[in-house]
Amino acid sequence: MAKMSLVVGAGLLGLLLSASGASADDCMVPPMNFNSQIAELEGQLTVKAGKGCGFGISGIDGAINEVVITQKPKVGLAGVRGTTPYYVAKPGYQGADEFAYAYIGTNQYGGPMRVVIKRKVTVIP
């Protein structure tokens, strides 16, 4: 399996995750910041039942080699398309869910980069 490399913009080392591919009414994802290439973060996600969203990333100095789901959700569906993780809520479901994903790559100096994001999901009608 070939690895995909995505070089992400230079500047302050930080992570900004935002919803993409969904209307603002379907998915709400507050931005997250961090200051390390090895990090474990927890963030919120609110999504309408039957809807979903992907998560963009910006501000990392280095290359993302792969994105993997590290914890599957109990109710919804999570996956990765290219280097974009996504979550889709189960139609008709209302309540809590959670999942996690990791950005894995190399930092701007050739060292390891692994950023794990755990999402606490609230599914609304």
Query: Angle CA(22)–CA(24)–CA(26) in degrees, nearest 5?
Result: 60
- The answer to whether 19 and 28 have CB atoms below 8 angstroms apart is yes
- Model confidence pLDDT, tens digit, residues 92-108: 999 999 999 999 999 99
**pTM recorded for the entire structure:** 0.80
The structural domain count of the chain equals: 1
Question: With the C-alpha atoms ordered 57, 22, 78, 41, is the resulting torsion angle positive or negative?
Answer: positive
Residue 69 included in any domain? yes
Residue 75 included in any domain? yes
Residue 38 included in any domain? yes
Range of the domain at 108: 6-124
- The answer to whether 37 and 113 have CB atoms below 8 angstroms apart is yes
CATH number, position 30: 2.60.40
- Model confidence pLDDT, tens digit, residues 12-43: 233 334 444 456 689 998 888 877 889 999 99
Residue 1 included in any domain? no
- The answer to whether 76 and 51 have CB atoms below 8 angstroms apart is no
Of residues 30 and 90, more confidence is placed in 90
